[in-house]
Amino acid sequence: MKYTQESLENKTILITGGAGFIGSNLAFYFQNNHPDAHVVVLDSFRSGEKLSNGNLKSFGHFKNLLGFRGEIISGDINDKDLLLDLEMHYKFDYIFHEAAISDTTALEQDLMIKTNVNAYKDLLNLAIAHSANMIYASSAATYGNAESPQKVGREAPNNVYGFSKLSMDNLSREVMKTCDISIVGLRYFNVYGPREYFKNSTASMVLQFGHQILAGKNPRLFIDSDKILRDFIYIEDIIQANIKAMKPKQSGIYNVGTGKARSFQDIVDTLQKELGTTYPCEYVPNPFVGSYQFHTEADIATSVEALGYKPAYELEDGIKAYVSEIRRIYKEEVK
């Protein structure tokens, strides 16, 4: 779906983290809906380098960009020479900043702050130099265990990832006071949808449960999963919010969710309906009691008012739209 009628002919768009989940979906949105735009994807791509928790440092994967015809640059946003080269040899109109250390269980606080906060400041300077609108990925992790519904201004991060995203938001607010470019931070809630598979173990539980079921296994849920609620948002609504954030003069920090909390049990029940299965669920003790968010729900009132954002996908709609891709990925990548 096309979310804006504005022409992007002769406009140059930079997407950092463009080989990742959300970045690659943005790249294809522009290719499909604004073919006259010049889209530049920047990604560090995966190298096999791992964090201390055993997860990959970068989830960028070439398969997320199969069919993409724009420009692709392999590089790290921490590379100041690379950013200087981008400033000198391009003229960006929009920057969509999706690159980050996004693993919420990462223990490397130094790398998290360097990549998520310090490199973002350098990218803001690039945006200012080019008079480019900046749209960047913040996160619901900024709220930690804050009471639902989560509302901007009530942050309480409980891991370094959430802290780094809140630091980006605070930096953005300071820059907003002194520059004319539009800066929009989008706090994503629990995103699921196509091109997330290469996030490995950090991919959504929608995908992970789908593959459990397709493997003929009983879905494994925590005890009382019907009481563990999240604001699950389909990737199409994330893209919608990003595109609507392109309009000038609407700087701010906005939640991007559905505004409705749904359970992990709802996910499994919906998947079984769409996949035509009736496997009994297995319930196991939750080892994360005390360190786990049991309820997230985005307050989207300001997002609706300022951006014109309106979520189009209920959980059932999103899973129905996604299930054919879940089957394809299972057949081509998992089996």
Non-local (6+) Cβ contacts of 331 within 8 A are none
Residue 282: both structure tokens together: 């297995």
120 catalytic per annotation: no
- DSSP track, 12-65: EEEEETTTSHHHHHHHHHHHHH-TTSEEEEEE----S-B-TTSSBS----GGGG
> What pLDDT score does 287 carry?
85
Domain boundaries, the chain: 12-334
Tell me which architecture the domain covering 12-334 has in CATH: 3-Layer(aba) Sandwich (3.40)
> What pLDDT score does 162 carry?
95
Distance CA 137, CA 96 (A): 8
Q: Which amino acid is at 50?
A: K
> What pLDDT score does 47 carry?
92
Q: Which one of 143, 199, 234, 309 is the catalytic residue? A: 199
Distance CA 185, CA 227 (A): 30
Non-local (6+) Cβ contacts of 11 within 8 A are 34, 37, 38, 93, 94
Largest CA distance in the chain: 59
Distance CA 317, CA 1 (A): 15
Kindly give the confidence (pLDDT) of every residue in the chain, 335 residues in length, as a single tens digit, with 9 standing for 90 and above.
888 878 999 999 999 999 999 999 999 999 999 999 999 999 999 998 999 988 888 999 999 999 999 999 999 999 999 999 999 999 999 999 999 999 888 889 999 999 999 999 999 999 999 999 999 999 999 999 899 999 999 999 999 999 999 999 999 999 999 999 999 999 999 999 999 999 999 999 999 999 999 999 999 999 988 989 999 999 999 999 999 999 988 999 999 999 999 999 999 999 999 999 999 999 999 887 766 678 999 999 999 999 999 999 999 999 999 999 999 999 999 98
Of residues 79, 93, 86, the one with CA closest to residue 38: 93
Q: Which one of 143, 161, 197, 322 is the catalytic residue? A: 161
Element (H or E) spanning 174, and its range? helix 160-176
161 catalytic per annotation: yes
